[in-house]
Every structure is written in C-alpha cells, then in structure tokens.
Amino acid sequence: MNHDPVSGFVALNVKQKKGIRIKDLNRGTGRAAEPGTIAVIKYQGFLNRGDKVASSDDQPGEEYRFEVGRRDPTAMLETSVIGMREGGTREARVSPHLAYREGTGDRRIPPNAVIRWVIELVRVEDGEVRT
C-alpha cells in the first residue's frame, strides 16, 4: 500500500477500485469483514466543504446490512468495508465516478461531487442478509 504523507491517506492497491482513498481512523479489534459475511455498519457522507449529505442515522434501524462480496451496495461501500474489523472506523474519499456522478436528484449533492464517507463496522455476522 502507498501512503500519501500530505493527506495521510493510504492509496488502495491495484486490485481495488481507483477513485477511492481510505484512511483507518480506528482499526478495530473484532472479526474482519470478508466476502460471504454480513457487514453491519453505520455511515455518514459529507461534501468536501463539510456539509452532511447522507447518514445511516436518517434511516429506520440506524444500521445498514449487506453481504460482502455480492456487490449489492455501491462499489465504494463494499471496497471500503472489506478487511475492516468490528469496532473499526474508516474514512473513504470517493470520486464522482464511484459515487453519484452527475447527481442523485438530492439538491444537497452537487453534480460530480467528491464525497467523504465515515464508516463504522458495528459487527460482522454469518449467513445471508434477511429482508
């Protein structure tokens, strides 16, 4: 992994998506999120200027669950969570081509915005996501 001494971000290796820079804020000590496991997360999304534009706190249940490796969530989310440990927190800066591109219909997010996501891995579970 390449470390950028100016921004403090760790550049992802070649196997991961270009356009995402990840920084571990807290590495966590629990079980790691791997393909085939269920990741239960909390998240917040911010514009570069600091405006919050998305949060799991705004959703019913306040946690988001997905099976790692099925590519059900966005490429950004899955790439950011793989390898995280329970209790860990990551910041992911995501370029527009992996986020919202030219917009979402949400006026808070301008076209082609870079989004800074803060993701907390609450827990890792076995099995399939129950709907």
Asked if the structure places residue 3 within a domain, the reply is: no
User: Which of 8-12, 95-99, 113-117, 127-131 is the least confident region?
Assistant: 8-12
Instruction: Check which CATH number belongs to the domain holding 29 and give it.
Output: 3.10.50.40
Asked if the structure places residue 130 within a domain, the reply is: no
Convert the pLDDT of each residue in 33-62 to its tens digit: 999 999 999 999 999 889 998 888 887 777
The torsion of the CA quartet 45, 108, 21, 17, rounded to 10 degrees, works out to 100
Asked if the structure places residue 56 within a domain, the reply is: yes
* Domain count within the chain: 1
User: Which of 29-38, 64-73, 93-102 is the least confident region?
Assistant: 93-102
In the structure encoding, which two tokens stand for residue 97, read together? Answer: 């081509």
How long, in residues, is the chain? 131
Asked if the structure places residue 112 within a domain, the reply is: yes
Asked if the structure places residue 94 within a domain, the reply is: yes
Asked if the structure places residue 97 within a domain, the reply is: yes
Question: 23 and 85 in contact (C-beta within 8 Å)?
Answer: no
For the chain, give the DSSP string.
Answer: -EE-TTT-PEEP-TTSPTTEEEEEEE--SSPBP-TTSEEEEEEEEEETTS-EEEEGGGSTTS-EEEETTS--S-HHHHHHHTT-BTT-EEEEEE-GGGTTTT--S-TTS-TT--EEEEEEEEEEE-SPPP-
Average pLDDT over every residue of 98-112:
70
Tell me the residue range of the domain where 19 lies: 12-125
Residues paired with 85 in a beta bridge: 32
pTM of the model: 0.77
Asked if the structure places residue 131 within a domain, the reply is: no
Asked if the structure places residue 5 within a domain, the reply is: no
- Average pLDDT of every residue of the chain: 79
